[in-house]
Amino acid sequence: MTATIASPLTLPCGATLKNRIAKGAMTEGLGDARNRATEAHVRLYRRWAEGGAGMLLTGNVQIDRRYMERPGNVAIDGPQSNEAIAALRDYAKAGTANGVHLWMQISHAGRQTPALVNKEPVGPSDKALDMPGAQFGKPRGLTGAEIEDVIRRFAFAASVARDTGFTGVQIHGAHGYLVSSFLSPDVNTRTDEWGGSLENRARLLLETVRAVRKAVGTDFPVSVKLNSADFQRGGFSHEDAIRVASWLNAEGLDLLEISGGTYEQPRLVGLDDMTLHPEKAETRRESTIAREAYFLEYAKDIRTATTMPLMVTGGFRSVAGMNAALASGTMDVVGIARPLCVDPEIADKLLSGAAAETPAYEKTLRLGPGILGPHSPVNLIKAMNGWGQQGWFCLQILRMGEGKNPDPKMGVFSAFRNYAKNEAKTASALQR
């Protein structure tokens, strides 16, 4: 039968998703001063679980609190206290209400660790981000022993996820974070077994998948988020992605999520170049731009090399578009993220027919070129638009964590300012 968003999906490990709508991972910033889960996670994920999706992906849970995506991340980087375990169990219980799967996305921010968290991040090598401002420090390259430790940390975090009631894990191998940066020949300039050829650059990802699978067993969903491309000249290419996807397929992966871009090229949220050198960016395919889903055409190519279930996140708005993508056989799960920040019940509405499409606010969240005066620097306006949008959606998540409703009337400039203030306050409260 032709799949629709209402169709269940049984994964290779035997677990079944009740429908084909999944909440994509989004940063939350709700962790406490020790980067533990909180009651805000419980409130937020219970609300999303009751909203009708078949599966929820958490915001990235860090495997090393020295290198986080933001100050308020949850981190699992060693033996957990009784309080931390209890908090994770409450989080998992809330997020699995209503027959929903809750998968923990486990991650290491690598060189995209903000300076608020660590002024000296780490990466495959010492290449810094090509972005305006001083938000990110110059990284140092990891030693071989540290890379092995990263793999162990991923496996440990996955075992904690299973033990505390999460129903799956996703290894974050996209968006320029540590695993993703190892895949990029532009960022990974190593000459040892972790760099050079694609086989070597993919070693960290593949060894992590194997270690995680060993830690959680064969009956527990293991997923990977992979870039379809970095959209940066000299970076991880679409041809590379197809090859890596075929290797992941051979590992018995339960779900591969296709995304794309990095902080420098944030195609994951529909934005273009954020670097100081836009001439180095690669353009998206015209056929992809014409579609509502950012990465569907790239997933079509990956499908030819794989048999495992595929999930595509980014840009889906209409039920008709979602069902057409599923019916084509190109993909198996529809990921939606930002619409859930504005309407946490949107999945139920799409499934019931009460709504034909999701809310879309991105196009209205733009600052004019003269917002800082008639001679505002282009790079500064570009940065404020990108981080302003990010802040706008993050603040909606924070509101729901506090038990409030989203505020669609919030201005993007005030969101940019308040988001920055919140990050600084959270960073200053961290207990090192």
pLDDT in tens, 334-354: 999 999 999 999 999 999 999
Q: Is 79 exposed, middle or buried (0-12, 13-18, 19+ CB in 10 A)?
A: exposed
CA angle 347, 350, 354 (to 5 degrees): 120
Could you tell me if residue 371 is left (phi over 0), alpha (psi between -120 and 50 degrees) or otherwise beta?
Answer: alpha
Torsion over CA of 262, 380, 394 and 415, rounded to 10 degrees? -170
- pLDDT for 195 beyond 50: yes
pLDDT in tens, 137-153: 999 999 999 999 999 99
| Confidence grade of residue 378 (pLDDT, cut at 50, 70, 90) | low
In the chain, the amino acid numbered 120 is E
Model confidence at 268, pLDDT cuts 50, 70, 90, reads: very low
N-terminal to C-terminal alpha carbon distance within the chain = 54
Work out the mean pLDDT of the chain and round it to a whole number. 88
Name the pLDDT band for 419 (thresholds 50, 70, 90). Answer: confident
- Please determine, for residue 161, whether its predicted confidence score (pLDDT) is greater than 70: yes
Output 340 or 412, whichever has higher pLDDT: 340
- Split at pLDDT 50, 70, 90, the class of 389 is confident
Mean pLDDT of 199-206: 98
Structure tokens at 46: 């219970």
Closest CA to 19 of 425, 367, 334, 407: 334
Alpha carbon 172 to chain centroid, angstroms = 7
Mean pLDDT, rounded, for 78-93: 97
Structure-derived torsion over alpha carbons of residues 83, 86, 92, 93, reported in degrees to the nearest 10: -140
Q: Is 59 helix (H, G, I), strand (E, B) or coil?
A: coil
What is the distance between the alpha carbons of residues 6 and 17, in angstroms, rounded to a whole number? Answer: 10
Question: CA 378, 384, 385, 386 torsion: positive or negative?
Answer: positive
Domains of the chain: 9-359 (3.20.20.70)
Compute how many other C-beta atoms are within 10 angstroms of the C-beta atom of residue 81.
10
Residue 250: predicted pLDDT: 97
The model's confidence at residue 64, banded by pLDDT at 50, 70 and 90, is very high
Q: How confident is the model at residue 174 (pLDDT cuts 50, 70, 90)?
A: very high
Position 431 scores a pLDDT of 81
User: Which has more confidence, 421 or 413?
Assistant: 421
Q: Which helix (H) or strand (E) holds 302?
A: helix 296-303
Selected residue with higher pLDDT from 319 and 279: 319
Q: Is the pLDDT at 379 greater than 60, yes or no?
A: no
Residue 362: band (very low, low, confident or very high) from pLDDT cuts 50, 70, 90: low
Neighbours of 243 (CB within 10 A): 15
* Mean pLDDT computed over 281-308: 71
Q: Which residues contact 252 (CB under 8 A, 6 or more apart)?
A: 12, 213, 218, 308
> How many CB atoms are closer than 10 A to CB 369?
12
| Alpha-carbon separation of residue 385 from 366, 368, 407, 409, 415 (angstroms) | 6, 9, 19, 17, 10
Does 276 or 210 have the greater pLDDT score?
A: 210
Query: Per-residue pLDDT for 293 more than 80?
Result: no
394 within 8 A of 412, measured Cβ to Cβ: no
Q: Where are the alpha helices (DSSP H) in 34-117?
A: 39-49, 82-95
What number is the average pLDDT over the span 426-431? 85
pLDDT band at 246 (very low <50, low <70, confident <90, very high): very high
Note the pLDDT of residue 360: 73
